Amino acid sequence: MSERGSGFLLDGAAVVAGLAAGTCIASVDSRTTWDDAGVTAAALLAAAGLFSVARPRAWLAIGLAVGVPVVAFNVVRFGRWDSAIATVFALVGAGIGGSVGGALRRSLA
């Protein structure tokens, strides 16, 4: 497999892993007994950031994959869009992670 093909596979794997992490975070966040938005925001920021450090060129897709499940769970379960800010936290984390990952790659090259 070419370098380009394996890169797309690794990007896809990072997005799928981000989607799994976002789904887990969303599952906890959508519980009626959960009332800690700060912990949810920090988890989204950290998860998106870590996956984006590993695959910096896929930061946008990773950020969306981590953040959108939280919104989707709340819309489907409660009919509320007030958790849309979760996507912003995930995108900020992914952007920071992508920047750090890109800088690390350049410094190691």
pLDDT in tens, 72-93: 999 999 898 988 999 999 999 9
Read off the tokens for 88. Answer: 């912003």
Can you give the pTM of this predicted structure?
A: 0.90
| Pairwise CA distance, residues 75 & 17, whole Å | 22
Q: What is the pLDDT of residues 9-32, one digit of tens each?
A: 999 999 999 999 999 999 999 888
| Pairwise CA distance, residues 109 & 107, whole Å | 6
Domain that holds residue 65: 3-108
The Cβ of residue 9 has, within 10 Å, a number of other Cβ atoms equal to 11
Indicate the number of domains in the chain: 1
* % of residues, the chain, pLDDT over 70: 95
